[in-house]
Amino acid sequence: MYNQLFTIHGSGMIYLVMTPFAIGLGVYLVPLQIGAPNIALPRTTLLGYWLYVTGAVIMLAGFVTPLGAHAAGWFSYPPLADARYSPGLGSDMWLAGVFLATTGVILMGWAVLWTALRKRAEGMTMLRMPLFSWSMVATTLMVIGSFPALLAALVLLGIGRADPAVFDSNLWTIGYQHLFWFYGHPVVYVMFFPYLAAVGEVLATFARRPFFGFRLTVLSLLVFAGLSMSVWGHHMFTTGQAANDYYSLTSIALLVPAGVEYFALLGTVLGGRLVFRPPMLFALAFIPQFLIGGLTGIMVGTPVIDYHAHDSYFVVAHLHYVLFAGSAFGLFAAFYFWFPKVTGAMLHERLSHAHFWLLVAGTNLTFLPMFLLGHEGMSRRIVSYAEFDGFGTLNLLASIGAALLAVAMLVFLYNVYVSLRFPRPAGDDPWQGQTLEWATTSPPPRLNFTPERPLPPVTSYAPLYDLRQRRLRERAEDGRAD
């Protein structure tokens, strides 16, 4: 049961939550930000959504099968994941569920990319697209380029489940790993770029200034996306089947575009007139927490350190600082920022602050001790540990942190319920946003913009900021004339 729980937890986090939610943000926001009436390929988008939902249901339904859900980990290496060592319908359902969900994400990614490239409003050149829309271009390029490798790996695993003798050959067991990680590393950035860009939009709005280093950040996203396709082998250092020097070099090279993006976030904050509303709090917390995940990623991208940390709780801590302390905080920043636009209602401020502080405390209390546990040798994916190993105190702290996370999520859900049950009107632009979605009503009409609320002139990647600045200058000039 423990193996089933961590397998479906990891699979849910990667295949069903952080990845499709990132693409889902693009489906909703990109047409609004570029002034399009709707998304391109709407039926394809809808098909992708239902494939994702069907895949999720099939995967989770594995728990009700006679032998339970899949239990070989979210990456499901053969031969452990073949029919000899992972028998039962639950494993087959996991395979089908991941295949369908991933196919759905690919279709939705195509639609978002096509929208950004072909449906921009008049005056919306590529370099006038907002940061979030640019992040979706880079993200969907990775989806289209790397996600089919996962489908190929799943087909190979399916063949191996029908004929387990396939995986008696090292060629196919290692071949599966190469295919899987060719997907498995770019997907980290699919779960990073949209949330990073959402944080950038929030920081710029609540710093009351345009995003700092916009063009260089756009370039860094594209370079980052390209490099992401060249680092997959650092997950395989300990197999002896990868060119360690090459993959270590490409992994460390990621520091350059990542550094550009971090300095752009900091440059946006420094010198701004900061307003500390709930979206801003989550955006600010994202920066140091994701930095921990990024720096420890460079550590495990170095072979000599990875030999020690591989398959230990150090890797668990690193992954969760990337996907929870980082990307999930970016997701919450986006949620709090665009909730008024989607629903027309404001979330409650005090409950939002309670959710934020509980989440910060729970996140760091849960995952920081895991770095120490991994360094001391505690293995991941082990159901129990001996108390005399000295792991008890740190695990207790992590368990207390996990309880805080649960309380934080209950507060969040209660906040959403209360805010929708007893809505407080948000208005069309409660934050003084800078991009086109704030120029229409909340929630937007069917075709996003209407003749009564036409698009403002698009003069940069922050057209509403430009519009406010022009009005301020005009008022100042009128005052001087009077």
Res. 453 pLDDT band, cuts 50 70 90: confident
Predicted confidence at residue 384, as pLDDT, reads 86
Q: In the prediction, which pLDDT does 423 show?
A: 96
For the cut 80, the answer to whether the pLDDT of residue 370 exceeds it is yes
Separation of alpha carbons 455 and 435, rounded Å: 11
Give 321's pLDDT tier (boundaries 50, 70, 90).
very high
CB-CB contact of 56 with 48 (8 Å): no
Span 252-271, average pLDDT: 95
Average pLDDT value for the chain? 95
Q: Do 191 and 323 contact (CB within 8 A), yes or no?
A: yes
Place of tokens 């029908």: 162
Give how far the C-alpha of residue 375 lies from the chain's centroid of Cα atoms, to the nearest Å: 27
DSSP bridge pairs for 30: none
The C-alpha atoms of residue 302 and residue 296 are separated, in whole angstroms, by: 10
Question: pTM above the 0.85 mark?
Answer: yes
Residue 13 DSSP label: I
83-93: pLDDT as tens digits: 999 999 999 99
CA-angle at 308, arms to 253 and 236, nearest 5°:
55
* Three-class DSSP category at 376: coil
What DSSP character marks residue 327?
Answer: I
Q: Is the pLDDT of residue 23 over 80?
A: yes
- Cα 157 from chain centroid? 26
- Given a contact cutoff of 8 angstroms between Cβ atoms, the answer to whether 109 and 186 are in contact is no
pLDDT at 450: 87
pLDDT bin (cut points 50, 70, 90) of residue 389 is: confident
Q: Which residues share a beta bridge with 425? A: 345
* Rounded mean pLDDT, 456-467: 95
482: pLDDT strictly greater than 80? no
Q: What is the mean pLDDT of residues 48-55?
A: 98
Instruction: Report the residue count for the chain.
Output: 482
Longest dimension (CA), the chain: 88
The pLDDT of residue 481 is above 80: no
Q: Are 301 and 251 in contact (CB under 8 A)?
A: yes
- Least confident interval from 80-89, 178-187, 382-391: 382-391
